[in-house]
Amino acid sequence: MSVPVPHRRTAVLSQQVVPARDVCAAARRTADGTADVGTAPAHLLATAPAGTRAPIPGARRPEAPADNGSGPGLTVLLIGDDPSSTVPDMWDWAGRKVRLRTARNLTEAARLLTHDVDCILLDLAPAKETDGPAADAAADTLGALHAVLRMAPAHAVLVMTPETDAERAAEAVRVGAQDYLFRDELDGAVLSRAVRYAVERKRADLAQRQLTESRMRAQENARLERGLLPTPLLDGSDLRFAARYRPGRSRALLGGDFYDTVRMPDGTVHAMIGDVCGHGPDEAALGVELRIAWRALTFAGLCGDELLSTLQKVLEHERADDEIFATLCTVDISPDGRRAGLCLAGHPAPLLSCAGGPPRLLPYEFGGPALGLLPYARWPRHQIELGGAWSLMMYTDGLIEGHVGEGRLRLGQEGMAELVARRMAAGLTGEELLDTTLNEVRDLNGGELTDDVAVLLLDRGRG
């Protein structure tokens, strides 16, 4: 954040005419309704509060701008040791009078600092007056400012100091105040401008901070996505691989969908796809952990029930809440590509098409519960005959939970199978098949899907 260069400001002399939009002073009105300060009683001038400008004899004082009623104006909270200190009237952008609240100390300020306060005007006592036990306890001459910044991090802060304290005024801006003013220049025009500037600069600072935080979250999400959706390790395999992932557009954060595919030294190909319940960075991080654990356990030689039981232990130790669970589908394909073992843990069954025939859903009744639901669950491995040429599609439930039209009817697994069958009959394969399927599911839903969708496709030509 850039810091304005301190400079000596020009004080407005009492002989100068103050702009009409920045002055509001009481004056006795004549019979024709004009404010004639030249005829004001002497006792009103003598009792004028300290810091206000003396009227120019014989001059006609301009009227204060009328409130245009377009909405609430600005509210300023003045914090100062002297309760009798006054500041000139201030006006916002629309010509409305700024509301002023006064607090003698930080305790009063905390009570008066409501949501409608736009700017804090902090009257810093001269540094030489900060002596005695208080100075011994706090060597920082800007202790009051630091306290205000901690108390009101989202509010604009304007510091007021003596002109002889210019160095401390500039330091106040460096540590977080939006601007500073000298007490002897407390003219309505100058103060109004300073308050408006401070409010707008604070808004700009907050907007910039939110933009920076959004960029950082986007970078974190990108890193999480790379962890959820890795590059498959299929070197040496004749299987063709394609995958697609689309985050749900109703949220700004990633969900917990994840997948992976690896080939073992003996030629066996292992593939899996999973979904952690819930949405957000915690669920996405847990999905990354489960995917990495699956890859490590697979390379260590675990498979089927033994692998899933170990993954459940990982989930139980890493999840933030006992209610969190994850669904999983694992497939191990033999080195010759003609057989596969399937394990389901509360996950939708894959879609298999053999020898160019129509796709069919694999049996689901052989599956077990989702990971994290039952402490001593078992997940049997079901043997599947694939044949020479086949295509296997694995997916998360976001693909089948979209609606069909404007009613409450959902696509479901059968509807998804029919949709894919039509596309395959038209000769679509690989990434083109996945893209057209996702687009049609989205169109049937009438817009973007509310849940994340991950789809993985493995296929093998005739052999």
CA angle 317, 276, 368 (to 5 degrees): 85
Structure confidence at residue 251 (pLDDT) = 52
DSSP string, 193-229: HHHHHHHHHHHHHHHHHHHHHHHHHHHHHHHHHHHHS
Structure confidence at residue 216 (pLDDT) = 80
- How many whole angstroms separate alpha carbon 162 and alpha carbon 170? 12
**Residue ranges for the chain with pLDDT beneath 50:** 1-69, 129-139, 252, 463
Please, what's the b/e burial string for 382-398 (b: 16 or more CB within 10 A of its CB; e: otherwise)? bebebeebbbbbbbbbb
Structure confidence at residue 83 (pLDDT) = 56
Structure confidence at residue 253 (pLDDT) = 54
**Is residue 220 within 8 Å of residue 281, measured between CB atoms?**
yes
Q: Average model confidence (pLDDT) for the chain?
A: 79
Phi–psi pair at 6, nearest 5 degrees: -60, 140
Helices and strands, counts by H and E, the chain: 10, 15
Structure confidence at residue 286 (pLDDT) = 92
- How many whole angstroms separate alpha carbon 251 and alpha carbon 452? 9
In what side-by-side order are the strands of the sheet with 119-123? 99-103, 75-79, 119-123, 156-161, 179-182
**Is residue 101 within 8 Å of residue 76, measured between CB atoms?**
yes
User: pTM for this structure?
Assistant: 0.58
**Is residue 311 within 8 Å of residue 328, measured between CB atoms?**
yes
